[in-house]
Amino acid sequence: MTTWITICDTCKREGWETTGMQQTDGEALAALIEARAGDTVKTRRVSCLMGCTRGCNVAVQAQGKLNYTLGDFTPDADTAQAIVDYAALHAQSETGQVPYRTWPQGVKGHFVTRHPPLPTDE
C-alpha cells in the first residue's frame, strides 16, 4: 500500500500575519516536503485539516494501516525531512506502526491523533 503525506496548505502559525510572508506556513512546509518525498511516499495538499491551533499539520496515511495526524511543526528543511523519513518508515511497516526508537527526532512530540484502519467488510 502507498503511504501518503497529506499536508494542510492553509496552516498559519501564530504570528504569521506579522511576518510579511506571501505564502502560508502550510504552503512553505508542503513545498519542502514535496521536494524531499521522492518515490518512497506520495504527497498531496489539502485546504484545512482543522488543526489550526497546532499548525503546521500533516497526516500520514495508507489503506489498511494505522494513520497518524501530526502538528505544531515549523516549516523548515529539517522538519520536512523528518516527516518524509517517518512516512518512509510507515510505508515499510505492515501495520503502519513504527517503533518509537526508530522515529526521527523531528517528529517526536508532534503526534496529535492515531486512527485505526477502516474495516474491510461491512
pLDDT, position 121: 77
Q: How far apart are the first and last CA of the chain?
A: 21
Beta strands in 20-107 (DSSP E): 42-46, 58-61, 67-70
pTM over the 0.85 mark: yes
C-alpha cell at 103: 522515529
In whole angstroms, what is the distance from residue 73 CA to residue 55 CA? 6
pLDDT band at 37 (very low <50, low <70, confident <90, very high): very high
Domain boundary assignment for the chain: 4-115
pLDDT, position 58: 97
pLDDT band at 17 (very low <50, low <70, confident <90, very high): low
Residue 108 buriedness (CB in 10 A; 0-12 / 13-18 / 19+): exposed
